[in-house]
Amino acid sequence: MTITFKQGRKHPKDRIVYIDDVAVKFQDFATTVVNAERQYVTAKNYLQQLRLVQAVFRGNEDNIYPPEEGYRGGKMIDDFIIDWRDANTDQQKSDILTKYKIK
């Protein structure tokens, strides 16, 4: 897995995360994390790499939506993954995407 970054457009410190030259969306990232968690024993190293990407997403959100200004910042990433992990139906996933304004 190759992780790279490019300048985003929302903030001077915004970074777009690429894994193997493909831009990563929150939804796809959350699905990958949840799947890796479910297979943790065989995917420990992969899950560790994903946690690194999660930390970058958290930092990115902190830059764009600073918690010290009353925003959720990076906590939104963690909350999204928890909600995504608990989603069992397409409708629940659709509701989560709407909740986080990703859809």
For 67-95, the pLDDT digits (tens) are 999 999 999 999 999 999 999 999 999 99
Domain containing 82 equals: 25-99
Q: How large is the average pLDDT for residues 17-34?
A: 84
pLDDT, tens digit, for every residue of 30-70?
887 777 777 765 556 777 888 888 998 899 999 999 999 99
| pLDDT of 78 | 92
Q: How far is the C-alpha of 30 from the C-alpha of 34, rounded, in Å?
A: 6
Structure tokens at 13: 């410190």
Residue 39 included in any domain: yes
CA distance 36 to 13: 28
- Residue 99: band (very low, low, confident or very high) from pLDDT cuts 50, 70, 90: very high
Residue 18 domain flag: no
Give the number of other CB atoms < 10 A from CB of residue 92: 13
Number of domains in the chain: 1
> Contact, 84 vs 78, CB < 8 A?
no
Cα gap 57→28, rounded to integer Å: 13
Residue 13 lies in a domain: no
Q: Is residue 93 part of a domain?
A: yes
| 66, part of any domain | yes
Residue 62 located in a structural domain: yes
